[in-house]
A = this chain, B = another copy of it.
Amino acid sequence: MTSKPRPSEDEIIANFFAPLAGPAGLGLVDDVALLAVPPDHELVLTTDVLTSGVHFFPDDPPDAIARKALRANLSDLAAKAAEPVGFLLGLALPDDWTADWLAAFAKGLAEDAACFDCPLIGGDTVKSLGALSLSIAALGTVPKGKMVPRAGVQDGDLLYVTGTIGDAALGLRLRRGADRAWSEALSRPARDYLLMRYLLPLPRLGLRDALRGFAHAGMDISDGLVGDLAKMLALTGMTVEVALPDVPLSKAARQALALDPSLVEPILTGGDDYEIVCAVALADQAAFEREAAAVGLAVARIGTAQKGAEKPLFRDGEGRPLAFSAASYHHF
């Protein structure tokens, strides 16, 4: 097998990344990006680091690795009701990278940058003596005062989640090849669906107007619903009881759960959902649901916030409290 010669650092920028650059990127010939924030708007910034073997598998398709990194950041912007304006890319490449790998990586990144209208505006590509790591800092704008904070849930607010919960955590288990009993009994489409949900998060940017209009608080669920919900509620002294049947599950996740009821734990605590959890006043229920429906985004009510210092309580379909060994994903 022949392999293409590897491009130089300057060629990497010129051939792979400059084509993705938005105007603020100054053609990637400067050291910096230059961005004008529209009047009466504020800038929302987020950063996520993804490392090989931790956030993705070394042999994941390079375009999917790129997309996941960008989408994880866009998911944060989505939860804050921000409109993406651009991103910076930090790429630490291990010694064995190839021109083909980088071309596929850049192609995936380009497609997502175009699709989500979030151009590359700067970056840094360096050598890594260890594994591949990727950092993206994404920027978005909100009209002044319109960012949806994490700390803002009020007593009596309805708590909503977008999409479905737990798919990615199950997809990760399938990807690892563990849990043979349920995974081998799973239908092929269900299996493919869960694997895809792990590989490619879907940032819920469509919820922007609904959030700006009606959400008191919001965050994206990246470390598991149980832990992330607890974090959001604790900030304003709130708690909630959630009945498992109210948690939106995909057909594939339902199938897996029927095969192995213990999967409730990874579904609720496994993370990588990149769905949004948010709090809406009871009075705004109909209007919020209408706005979400208008952009074709499923939102499900999972409970009602109430004052309390206790952790959120999850109950199964028979009303029995669920206990988890860990509420959320932790790096350390």
Residues of A within 8 A of B (CB): 6-9, 12, 26, 29-37, 39, 42-55, 76-77, 79-80, 82, 88-94, 121-131, 133, 135, 137, 139, 144, 147, 149-151, 219-220, 235, 330-332
Contact = CB atoms under 8 A, between A and B. Distances in A.
11 contacts: A7-B332, A9-B332, A30-B149, A31-B150, A35-B42, A37-B37, A51-B127, A51-B130, A53-B129, A54-B129, A125-B331
A128 B54 CA distance: 7
Given A36-B144, A51-B130, 16 more contacts: A9-B330, A29-B151, A30-B151, A31-B150, A32-B45, A32-B46, A32-B76, A33-B45, A34-B45, A35-B44, A37-B37, A43-B43, A47-B124, A52-B129, A124-B135, A128-B131
Number of copies of this kind of chain in the complex = 2
Contacts of A31: 46, 76, 79-80, 150, 219-220
B44 A126 contact: no
Contacts of A76: 31-32
A47 B90 contact: yes
A33 B138 CA distance: 11
Nearest to A43: B35
Contacts of A121: 45
A46 B128 CA distance: 20
Contacts of A89: 47
Contact of A32 (B44, B126, B151): B44
A149 B33 CA distance: 10
Closest 5 CB pairs of A and B: A130-B130, A130-B131, A135-B135, A90-B135, A137-B137
B130 A29 contact: no
User: Of residues A29, A122, A332, which shows the largest number of chain B Cβ atoms within 10 Å of its Cβ?
Assistant: A332
Nearest to A151: B29
User: Of residues A6, A93, A135, which shows the largest number of chain B Cβ atoms within 10 Å of its Cβ?
Assistant: A135
Contacts of A7: 332
Contacts of A80: 30-32
